[in-house]
Amino acid sequence: MVASGAGELANLVLIDLPDHDSTEVAHRLTVDRLVELVDMLVWIVDPQKYADGALHERYLKPLAPYAEVMLVVLNQADRLWGDELERCLADLRHLLDSEGLAKTPILSMSATEGIGVAEVRHFLAEVVATKKAKNTRLSADVDRAAAALRDELGTAPAAKVSQDQRLALTDSLADAAGVPIVVDGVRQAWRRRGAIATGWPFVSWLSAMRPDPLRAIRLDQQPRELSPTATSRTSLPVASSVQKARVDRGLRELVESAGAGLPRGWLETVRAAARDNERQLLDRLDLAIAQADLGLDRGHGWWSVVRFLQWVLMACALAGLAWGLVVLFAGSLLFQTPPPVLWWNLPAQWVLLGGGVLGGGRLAALSGIGVDIGARLKARSADGTLQHAVMAVVERDIVALVEAELERYRAAVLAVSKAS
């Protein structure tokens, strides 16, 4: 290592490296290590060895990105006669150009005779004066690293998680989480509650004896049935192996589609992100279903009107029955038979009895149709609400993590593109 001292070569540190083709392994390792560190490389070659394959294949060709911070000096120029020097320089120039080193200058000199030494010194002085070697070397380092990253990352834009993929995964998770069971429970619960509220009072109590399908799975419970310190959970059946397989396939398809074109390492990162919350996924879906508003406390105001009418009709039927019994048994009970009352030429007591019974039955039948329509609408609404709840979990616990990795990939590609 030789420091330049003062003068036009101030701040220049010249390092004389061992021969690249030295038989000493340590020498070759030193060359390999320092080639990656110095700001500028000056290759001194002899007329006999300037085309040496070891030099060109191991160093010059791989260092083509650094062509601007290299200088090739043909030494022993004093040994070349006539136009031999020009032919030798032309051949060396052609060889370097073919290896991507067109921007690497060539000089000739004779160390023993001093021929061309001034030109080499002047070249180095210009490099020192302009102070561009270091920046050029750093720029070449960045370009080389960017090229390697570009080859690794590729240039294809990263895909996005499409709406179809979101819906397909949501459908699989909804099935595994028991959404169809809840939707059917909403339909059956609405019919049961509607039958109790609007049915003929003489038989509607039979509907009340059947268990409520929603409360059986701990959904739509009354406030008094809930513990203020307990986490809302359902009693839905555990997902079957088939349902779990559907969820696994949905996750796999989402990753394969979203990760299309990504390098293997980044694809693995996307896959890990998609499955980061896999163990807690079904528990979080269960919680989302338990907290979903199924809307069963709305849309049944007309039940109260029907219930009132049913009780009026039942009262008429009971009054008619009691009146008829009094008329029928008054004589045998030593009471005076009340005078007959006719409505539409029929005994009033039987009109009351028949009207109450027939009216209650007809009203219950018509109300049953309304309740059935309402049950279908409620089931459809509940399905939409539950699908939305499941999709919220999918977005938060799966898609958001995948999209974050894809965005990181896009940012990396953009950064490499700007650095190139």
CATH number, domain with residue 91:
3.40.50.300
Q: What is the pLDDT of residue 61?
A: 85
Looking at the structure, tell me whether residues 174 and 53 fall in a common domain: no
pLDDT tens profile 25-68? 565 566 666 666 667 778 888 888 888 887 888 778 887 877 78
How large is the angle between the packed helices 163-177 and 179-198, nearest 10 degrees? 60
172 and 88 share one domain = no
Report residue 404 as tokens. Answer: 């974050």
pLDDT for the residue 149: 61
Has residue 2 got a pLDDT over 50? no
Give the Å distances, CA to CA, from 364 to 198, 207, 356, 358.
Answer: 6, 13, 12, 10
Q: Mean pLDDT across the chain, nearest whole number?
A: 79
In tens, the pLDDT along 182-224 reads 999 999 999 988 888 888 887 776 777 788 777 777 776 544 4
So what's the pLDDT on residue 349? 81
228 and 275 housed in the same domain: yes
Please tell me whether residues 148 and 263 are part of one structural domain.
no
Answer with the one of 117, 132, 153 that is the final residue of a domain: 153
- Residues 360, 413, single domain; the answer is yes
220 sits in the region (left: phi over 0; alpha: psi -120 to 50; else beta) called: left
Q: Rounded CA gap, 43 and 333, in Å?
A: 138
Element spanning 71, H or E: strand 70-74
Does residue 255 contact residue 274 with C-beta atoms inside 8 Å?
yes
Alpha-carbon gap, residue 12 to 204, rounded angstroms: 103
Q: How many domains does the chain have?
A: 2
Choose one of 153, 178, 199: the last residue of a domain.
Answer: 153
For residues 375 and 307, give the distance between their C-alpha atoms in angstroms, rounded to a whole number. Answer: 18
**Does residue 306 carry a pLDDT above 80?**
yes
The answer to whether residue 140 is domain-embedded is yes
User: How does pLDDT run across 66-98, given as a tens digit for each residue?
Assistant: 778 788 888 888 888 878 888 888 888 998 889
Mean pLDDT of 118-138: 72
Interstrand relation of 13-14 and 41-45 (parallel, antiparallel or unpaired): unpaired
* Cross-strand bridge partners of residue 70: 41
Listed residues 153, 173, 205: the one ending a domain: 153
Between CA 235 and CA 245, with CA 240 as vertex, the angle to 5 degrees is: 135
The verdict on residue 249 lying in a domain is yes
State how far the Cα of 165 lies from the Cα of 322, in Å rounded to an integer. 68
Q: Is residue 179 part of a domain?
A: yes
For residue 360, name the pLDDT band (cuts at 50, 70, 90): confident
Residues 91 and 223 in one domain: no
pLDDT of amino acid 375: 93
Instruction: Kindly state whether residues 98 and 168 are assigned to the same domain.
Output: no
Residues 124 and 252 in one domain: no
**In the structure encoding, which two tokens stand for residue 321, read together?**
């029955």
* Contact residues for 412 (Cβ-Cβ < 8 A; gap 6+): 149, 153
Q: Where are the beta strands (DSSP E) in 110-236?
A: none
Whether 221 and 142 share a structural domain: no
Residue 287 belongs to a domain = yes
For residue 410, tell me if it sits in a domain.
Answer: yes
Q: Which residue has the higher pLDDT, 323 or 336?
A: 323
Task: Examine the domain organization and report whether 145 and 170 are in the same domain.
Answer: no
Higher pLDDT, 335 or 127: 127
What pLDDT was estimated at residue 407?
86
Domain co-membership, 308 together with 408: yes
Residue carrying the six token digits 């990753």: 255
Q: Does 116 map to a domain?
A: yes
Tens digits of residue pLDDT in 376-417: 999 999 999 999 999 999 999 999 998 888 888 887 777 777
Which amino acid appears at position 83 of this protein? D
> Helix, strand or coil for residue 233?
coil
Using the predicted structure, report yes or no on whether residue 331 has a pLDDT greater than 60. no
State the residue range of the domain holding 300.
Answer: 163-419
Query: What H or E segment, with its residue span, contains residue 108?
Result: strand 106-108
Q: Is residue 158 part of a domain?
A: no
The reported pLDDT for the residue numbered 389 is: 93
pLDDT value at residue 353: 86
d(CA 322, CA 336): 16
**Domain shared by 397 and 298, yes or no:** yes
101 inside domain = yes
pTM: 0.64
**What residues form DSSP beta bridges with 2?**
14
